[in-house]
């Protein structure tokens, strides 16, 4: 008895119909089902890759935004940066710049990107 005479009853992975397979490795009832399932697998693989990339980007952005400012160092300083003031006030740096522009907080601009705020000015707000 040769292997071509063997008929195995199997279920198609794509459509779920029962069929007679000539080989033990056959998974699909037809070429059409094979092609459809292949395309589905490729779409799911692409979707998974995109999800992984998106999660990595979100994690990168989250790590970049949550730079830890040491609270003990802030307590020891007399002059704070805009980022440190924003951390203390639990707001965005743009809000701090807006408060400086409205003159609710007095600041010293040492350089283009070196704005310093006296700690007592922040405490006066509260």
| Domain finish residue from 65, 80, 103 | 65
> pTM for this one?
0.46
Is the pLDDT at 64 greater than 70, yes or no? no
Total domains present in the chain:
2
Beta bridge partners of 111: 114
Amino acid 7: pLDDT: 87
Inform me whether the pLDDT recorded for 115 exceeds 50.
Answer: yes
Instruction: Assess whether 11 and 57 both reside in one domain.
Output: yes
3-state DSSP call for residue 110?
strand
Beta bridge partner(s), residue 12: none
Long-range Cβ contacts of 33-40 (<8 Å, 24+ apart): 37/13, 40/14
* Segments forming the whole domain that contains residue 115: 71-125
Residues in the chain, total: 126
Instruction: With cut-offs at 50, 70 and 90, classify the pLDDT of residue 45.
Output: very high
Instruction: Choose one of 34, 65, 96: the last residue of a domain.
Output: 65
Statement: residue 84 has pLDDT above 70: yes
Band the pLDDT of 1: cuts 50, 70, 90.
very low
Same domain membership, residue 11 and residue 39: yes
Pair 61, 75 in one domain: no
85 & 33 share domain: no
Q: What is the mean pLDDT of residues 105-124?
A: 88
Q: Are residues 112 and 81 in the same domain?
A: yes
CA 64 – CA 85 distance, rounded (Å): 18
Distance (Å, whole) CA 24 – CA 28: 11
Are residue 48 and residue 28 in the same domain, yes or no?
Answer: yes
Q: How far apart are CA 56 and CA 59, in angstroms?
A: 5
| Domain stops at, among 39, 65, 91 | 65
Top-confidence residue, 90 or 126: 90
User: How many degrees, rounded to 5, is the angle at CA 26 between CA 31 and CA 5?
Assistant: 105
């Amino acid at each position: 008895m040769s292997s071509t005479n063997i008929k195995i009853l199997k279920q198609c992975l794509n459509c779920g119909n029962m069929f007679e397979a000539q080989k033990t490795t056959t998974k699909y009832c037809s070429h059409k089902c094979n092609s459809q399932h292949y395309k589905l697998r490729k779409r799911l693989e692409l979707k998974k890759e995109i999800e992984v990339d998106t999660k990595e980007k979100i994690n990168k952005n989250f790590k970049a935004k949550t730079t830890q400012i040491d609270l003990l160092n802030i307590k020891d300083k007399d002059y704070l940066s805009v980022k440190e003031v924003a951390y203390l006030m639990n707001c965005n740096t743009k809000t701090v710049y807006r408060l400086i522009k409205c003159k609710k907080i007095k600041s010293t601009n040492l350089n283009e990107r070196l704005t310093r705020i006296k700690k007592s000015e922040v405490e006066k707000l509260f």
